[in-house]
Amino acid sequence: MTATCREACCSVTPRLTVAELFERGFRRSREAPRSIEGAPCTGAENNTTSFSLDVADGRIAAVGFRASCCATLIAYCEYIAEIVPSFGLAIARELTASNLVDSVPGVPALKRDRAVLAIAAFRAALLAADITQRGEPSNESRLHLRHPAP
């Protein structure tokens, strides 16, 4: 077992709890956007979010986002922003809302739909990165944007 325990018992930081992701995400959401900006996505209850990326050599170098002031949504967006740097675009596209829900425990069922919104907005930014990198979107990107996995 080599994985670092991020529970309170081990006092390891940064912890991946909703509260701490929200704290870090709230700060990140107020930073200037990165160079490639994805289209904003709006979900239930008028929550809106958009991602921005810096991409170097086909890999994600940095992530920014803007989001409505919803703690759950900001926590999900921050989780994405913290884990995807250094991912290739194709691998990042494989991240699903289910992955997000599983990775950020403690969110009540009624609030988990924010994960779908966060992933849709992240994929919109990946699509924008595709367009920037290749000059046109791949069919796969379009498919993911229109049908974000649950």
Partner 1 sequence: MKVAYIFATQRHNISYVLAKMILPQLEQKRHGVDVVGMFFFEDNNYVLVDGNPIGERLHKVAKDTGMLLMGCDQCCYEREIADKLFPGVPIGCFPDLYKALSGNMPDQVITL
Rounded distance between C-alpha atoms, residue 136 and residue 11, angstroms: 46
Shorter beta-carbon distance to partner 1: residue 10 or 91: 10
The least CB distance from residue 103 to partner 1, in Å, is 15
Applying CB under 8 A, which residues contact partner 1?
A: 8, 17-19, 22, 45, 69-72, 75, 105-108, 110-111
Shorter beta-carbon distance to partner 1: residue 30 or 146: 30
The least CB distance from residue 98 to partner 1, in Å, is 17
Please state whether the peptide bond connecting residue 14 to the residue before it is cis, i.e. omega within 30 degrees of 0: yes
The least CB distance from residue 109 to partner 1, in Å, is 8
The least CB distance from residue 66 to partner 1, in Å, is 17
Shorter beta-carbon distance to partner 1: residue 105 or 135: 105
Report the Cα 80 to chain-centroid distance in Å: 3
Residue with tokens 């325990």: 5
Rounded distance between C-alpha atoms, residue 37 and residue 122, angstroms: 10
3-state secondary structure of 108: coil
